[in-house]
């Protein structure tokens, strides 16, 4: 999909630029942006290191386990189909905890593990179960403790107060998560009623 989006932006951009008579500006923008991308990467470097370093301490001191324990009761409600001691539950909890802490590298393998455990509980191997749908909805609405990348970009462009958006990020992601959970529960109920009728 990104292949089309990328090509579309470039082709439309150059085309509109020619029609607008802004060929030189467009050419200059293309060349400057390549340099800007590297600058952005370097601008992100410091805060990303700070953050992944700090989160490594959190991981090694077992913070993920603390968060997992706190999440357990909520997860029983969200995933009623998973048996209490099943390894799927453990993988889901750890994945959500890793996402919460912004540990992208740890989150993906745990998420894939959770999917393969959920697949073992699945009776129709090519169709998603309710638990899988719920898990992915939670994953895409992920609540993040500190949006480090955004803070880095704001810092780079001289924000007076780069971290001021932490509170609004929390509000927005909590709303999104609740909406996602309600949507998943309602859609699952509607579909299963439709099947029985």
Partner 1 sequence: MEAVKIVSSYAIPGIFLVILGVGVYRDVKVFDVFVDGAKEGVATVVRIIPSLVGLMVAVGVFRASGALDLLIYATRPVASFLGIPSEAMPLAFMRPISGSASLALVSDIIEANGPDSFVGRVVSTMMGSTETIFYTLTVYFGSVGIKNIRYTLVAALIADTVSIIASVLACRMVFGM
Calpha distance 115→117 (Å, rounded)? 5
Report in angstroms how near the CB of residue 84 gets to partner 1 at its nearest.
Answer: 22
Nearer Cβ to partner 1 (17/71): 17
Among candidates 131, 53, 46, 143, which has minimal Cα distance to 98? Answer: 143
Calpha distance 105→179 (Å, rounded)? 27
Calpha distance 185→73 (Å, rounded)? 17
Nearer Cβ to partner 1 (71/133): 133
Report in angstroms how near the CB of residue 68 gets to partner 1 at its nearest.
Answer: 14
Calpha distance 119→124 (Å, rounded)? 9
Nearer Cβ to partner 1 (72/174): 174
Nearer Cβ to partner 1 (70/172): 172
Among candidates 126, 122, 123, which has minimal Cα distance to 114? Answer: 122
Report in angstroms how near the CB of residue 73 gets to partner 1 at its nearest.
Answer: 22
Report in angstroms how near the CB of residue 136 gets to partner 1 at its nearest.
Answer: 5
Rounded to 5 degrees, what angle do the CA atoms 168, 51, 137 make? 50
- What is the DSSP code string of 146-168? --HHHHHHHHHTT-SSGGGGHHH
Nearer Cβ to partner 1 (75/91): 91
Report in angstroms how near the CB of residue 133 gets to partner 1 at its nearest.
Answer: 4
Contact predicate 114/95, CB 8 Å: yes
Nearer Cβ to partner 1 (18/72): 18
Report in angstroms how near the CB of residue 56 gets to partner 1 at its nearest.
Answer: 2
């Amino acid at each position: 999909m990104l292949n089309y989006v990328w090509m579309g932006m470039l082709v439309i951009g150059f085309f509109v630029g020619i029609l607008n008579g802004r060929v030189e500006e467009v050419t200059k923008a293309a060349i400057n942006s390549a340099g800007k991308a590297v600058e952005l990467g370097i601008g992100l470097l410091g805060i990303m290191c700070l953050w992944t370093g700090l989160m490594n301490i959190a991981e090694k001191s077992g913070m993920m386990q603390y968060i997992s324990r706190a999440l357990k009761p909520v997860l029983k409600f969200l995933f009623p189909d998973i048996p209490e001691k099943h390894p799927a539950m453990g993988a889901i909890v750890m994945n959500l905890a890793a996402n919460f802490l912004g540990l992208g590298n740890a989150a993906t393998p745990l998420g894939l593990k959770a999917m393969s455990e959920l697949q073992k509980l699945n009776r129709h191997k090519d169709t998603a179960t309710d638990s899988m749908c719920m898990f992915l909805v939670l994953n895409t609405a992920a609540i993040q403790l500190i949006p480090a990348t955004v803070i880095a970009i704001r810092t780079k462009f001289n924000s007076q107060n780069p971290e001021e958006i932490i509170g609004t990020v929390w509000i927005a992601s909590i709303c999104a998560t609740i909406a996602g959970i309600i949507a998943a529960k309602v859609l699952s109920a509607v579909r299963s009623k439709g099947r029985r009728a």
